[in-house]
Structure 1
Amino acid sequence: MAQQERAIRTRRTILEAAGAVFDEYGYASTTISMVLERADVTKGALYFHFSSKESLAQAVLDEQVPFGAVPEQPCKLQEIIDMTFVVAQRLLTDSLLRGSVRLTVDQATPPGVDHSGPFRQWAERLIALMEQARSQGELLPTVQPRDTVELLVGGFAGIQLMSRALTDRADLAHRVSVLWSHILPSLAVPGLLLGLDSKADRGLRVLSAVPVS
């Protein structure tokens, strides 16, 4: 059991180090040696968990969507809003998430690395919530959940890229709030609209309610 726990911790250490290096240098310029130095582990330890740079990059990408976990809300549209703000907040400090997001939009990743996966995974998760929102009468009748979700995922991806370039994401929460201020009136029924919370500090407040793992 102790050996298994050490292996889990080592794998996480490697993933976090890889996320930091991928975030700083991109896929093409990242080397296994850079990850080893950042993680302070042996080559044998890394190759025990990951057979190549490609498999390491894929593992970093596969970690992205769980960072959107938030407390369940009775209002599913609010739960979707919360996910966007929590990811925006975590992008400020979490090296693994930052590396995963960098790889998602990095066109230098080779064909063997599915950098499109997070886009599909986010869409699937959010569409399920959007369908629940529709069944609960939260959405205007004209809303098409898949189209709306794909607009939201693509919009968030672009906003975080712009925020990173201009302010190292210091203004990302504000930009997400602005995004919602434009989208929500076309989604939510009027009786729900005023009760939805999309203020820029929403991510901080939601995270304060999430137990530390």
Structure 2
Amino acid sequence: MQRQQRGERTRRAIIEAAALAFERDGFHGANLAEISTRAAVTKGALYFHFSSKEDLAQAVQQEALAAFSEVLRGLLRCDPGGLNALVGATCELAGTLTNSQVARAGLAVADGPGAPDSVLDPWPLWSSTLRRLLTRAHRAGELGGHLDPEVVAGFLTAVSMGIETLSRRERLWLDRGMLADFWALLLPQLESGGGEVSTDSTHHDNKPTSSFVSLPGVAGQRVLKAQSEPPTGG
């Protein structure tokens, strides 16, 4: 039992060290010798758990996919209903990317040049989850009747992928204030009978905050809730 636990701790240390290297240097730039040093293991121990850098990259990707899948399953289990869940979904995704280096590295490796065949493609699962949440909102009368849940889900997936890519250079794109401003602009366009959108914004102490307190209807309430509540996943 103790030997098994030591093996699991060693494997965990190697994956975390690899995630740092893959996120920082990409697949080609990552060096196994440096990874083993950072993980405080011998190269023999590293090769005992992973036969190659490709094998290690796939392990990082698999863990990242598992993290994303758990977040999305939790959203569907605990769905508060309607558009509230949609706002929560993006906050949960941003929280996972902010708090999990393995999740970030998994996506970076999947998109990197010369990377091995990827086992990680969370975006179809993400799009499917958004489509289910939007369909529920449509049935509940919260989504504008002229909107197609599948089309909106595709649009939001594309925006999510763009934000994730931008966040690799500037983590500010995952800031909860930034998300709140995004939803303050978009929600009135999605809601049945949504109101006008204010585009004013204020920043205090270099930290972006949502200034859409004056949004009419439930849009403003949802955005403020998304901004103030900590993520439950990640």
> Which TM-score band (shorter chain)?
0.7 to 0.9
Q: Which residue of 2 aligns with 1:129?
A: 133
Q: Which residue of 1 aligns with 2:162?
A: 158
Matched, 1:205 2:209: no
Q: Deviations over 1:11-57 (max 9, x none)?
A: 33322222111110111211322322222233344344433322322
Q: Which residue of 2 aligns with 1:14?
A: 14
The answer on whether the counterparts of 2:92 and 2:233 sit within 8 Å (CA) in structure 1 is: no
Q: Could you say what secondary structure the match of 1:198 adopts?
A: helix
Q: One-letter code of the match for 1:38?
A: R
Shift in Å, 1:155: 1.0
Determine which structure has greater relative contact order: mean sequence separation of CA pairs < 8 Å that are 6+ residues apart, divided by chain length.
Answer: 1
Quickly say closer, same or farther: Cα 1:7–1:189, change in 2 above 3 A. Answer: farther
Q: One-letter code of the match for 1:100?
A: G
The answer on whether the counterparts of 1:89 and 1:203 sit within 8 Å (CA) in structure 2 is: no
Q: Deviations over 1:87-138 (max 9, x none)?
A: 323433432122123224324423x2245x1222222333233333333333
Distance 1:5 1:179 in 2: 44
Q: Which runs of 5+ in 2 are unaligned?
A: 195-216
Q: Which runs of 5+ in 1 are unaligned?
A: none
Q: Which residue of 1 aligns with 2:112?
A: 106
Q: Deviations over 1:135-177 (max 9, x none)?
A: 3333222333333223212212222333443xx3135323333
Quickly say closer, same or farther: Cα 1:193–1:113, change in 2 above 3 A. Answer: same
The answer on whether the counterparts of 2:172 and 2:178 sit within 8 Å (CA) in structure 1 is: no
Q: Which residue of 1 aligns with 2:187?
A: 184
Q: One-letter code of the match for 1:59?
A: A
Matched, 1:194 2:219: yes
Distance 1:134 1:8 in 2: 45
Normalised TM-score (structure 1): 0.75
Q: What is the Cα-based RMSD across aligned positions, in Å?
A: 3.2
Q: Which residue of 2 aligns with 1:36?
A: 36
Quickly say closer, same or farther: Cα 1:7–1:80, change in 2 above 3 A. Answer: farther
Name the % identity: 31
Q: Could you say what secondary structure the match of 1:206 adopts?
A: coil
Matched, 1:46 2:49: no
Q: One-letter code of the match for 2:23?
A: D
Distance 2:109 2:227 in 1: 23
Give runs of aligned pairs for residues 68-83 of structure 1, distance below 5 A: 68=71, 72-83=78-89
Shift in Å, 1:186: 2.8
Quickly say closer, same or farther: Cα 1:119–1:189, change in 2 above 3 A. Answer: same
